[in-house]
Structure 1
């Protein structure tokens, strides 16, 4: 829509050289063909602006006022000044639409939002220098998880959580996250840790798989933030990954 408005503004500007010299009474005037094109462009621009900014937006109102006042004052359609003003109003409207979309663009840190992954965990992963593992992808997964969770993208939150579960087991000496949940540290060690991991394995993986693999149905249900809130369990997992992976214990 923004590019369409810019194109309309440019087309209006292209009409300006088509004005002809009249007499001392009429001054510059626009022939019938270009005048009709200008009116069509103005209506098209108004339709786009109304759709994007609402019917009572200032740009549409100003555009129609400019067009109507020009056509009443000059023979043969809009005045030269009217076309100039309309072109600038359409361009200003395009900037307003652009600002609207920019405000709606996802942000890494929306105001008043709690980070799904605490920044301390991400900083600790970045700070690991000597390790058998490259944590750059894990850092990016955590960063993107914060973005989607903060912007209420709950399906993406579940899918990124599942990806992290698939990504980290080798750091903990396991091939799969199922092994982390059931065997990490041996059968009698780290019982509390394993119970937390079992919640991740038994719940978030199933939630993510349900949304990833379900075909479309006649009626759908989408997840809420409550359904994908495993931030505390993930924090425990990342803490252990940092402890082991940053201590030189992790091996390839």
Structure 2
């Protein structure tokens, strides 16, 4: 099974060397060319790689990871680039090239998804238990969870909220993206009483705060809730497309919500 997987990954990587060569050409332009030429070359390279990734690995979320890498530029079109700006652009180009070099292993990990691997390992050793040995970044920063644990309140018990956040991190670590969508919805449905409101729609539409905070709360109420509802309530179809992390990651908006909860509850002590 491993050999066939390696072979499939190898076939899919056809064209990767050419794309890496274009990245090396971009590094030469960074050293010598003007800002506009560098920006256009970088944008063209990123677009070409993104298109190739979408063609080779649709619905993998990898094109979104590629697009999220730092912008490569050496300054505004009419500016005079400094040695520092060129050096920083080279570092960013190297980040892109390193990401491309790691692409085969990224694809292999996605094709042998964590839940599948865990279940397969359990079957192979005849166990009724699943064994987890995972290292992953956190959707909810552990420091934020620790802050929640230090909040003391006689009005609200945060133990369930903290557990939901911890389980959200576990769901991300095991690539359980359906569970992530549902846990995010559970969090926003759980916290409205902290804000003195009955439901999260009231929180998103009426809570006094900055325009940025209101926008992120509305994002949780609309986008995150709609995605969760889609996966919770849709019935089985002839063809399904499973969500990727790009679809269910609401970490930025969620962190702002948790910050506001900490500020609000700390002020009431």
Deviation at 1:191, TM superposition (A): 1.8
Aligned to 2:180: 157
Aligned position for 1:232: 252
1:10-89 to structure 2, matched below 5 A, reads none
1:236-251 → structure 2 map (5 Å cutoff): 236-248=256-268
Determine the C-alpha separation between the residues in 2 that align with 1:217 and 1:197: 32
Count of residue pairs the alignment pairs up: 150
Q: Identify the match of residue 156 of structure 2 among 125, 129, 133.
A: 133
Cα RMSD after superposing both structures = 2.4
Match of 1:79 in 2: none
1:105 — aligned with what?
131
Q: Is the 8 A contact 1:204 1:228 kept in 2?
A: yes
> Which protein has the larger Cα radius of gyration, Structure 1 or Structure 2?
1
Q: Which residue of 2 aligns with 1:31?
A: none
Q: Please state whether the residue corresponding to 2:248 is helix, strand or coil.
A: coil
Q: CA deviation at 1:247?
A: 2.2
Which residue matches 1:182?
Answer: 205
Q: What's the CA shift for 1:174?
A: 1.4
Judging changes above 3 Å, is the alpha-carbon distance between structure 1 residues 226 and 184 closer, same or farther for their aligned structure 2 residues? same
**Runs of 4+ residues deviating >3 angstroms:** none
Q: TM-score, normalised by structure 1?
A: 0.55
Q: Is the 8 A contact 1:196 1:233 kept in 2?
A: yes
Q: CA deviation at 1:246?
A: 2.5
User: Unaligned 5+ residue runs, structure 2?
Assistant: 1-119
Partner of 1:206: 226
Q: Extract unaligned runs of 5+ from structure 1.
A: 1-51, 54-93
Counterpart check, 1:117 vs 2:140: yes
CA distance in 1, matches of 2:153, 2:217: 26
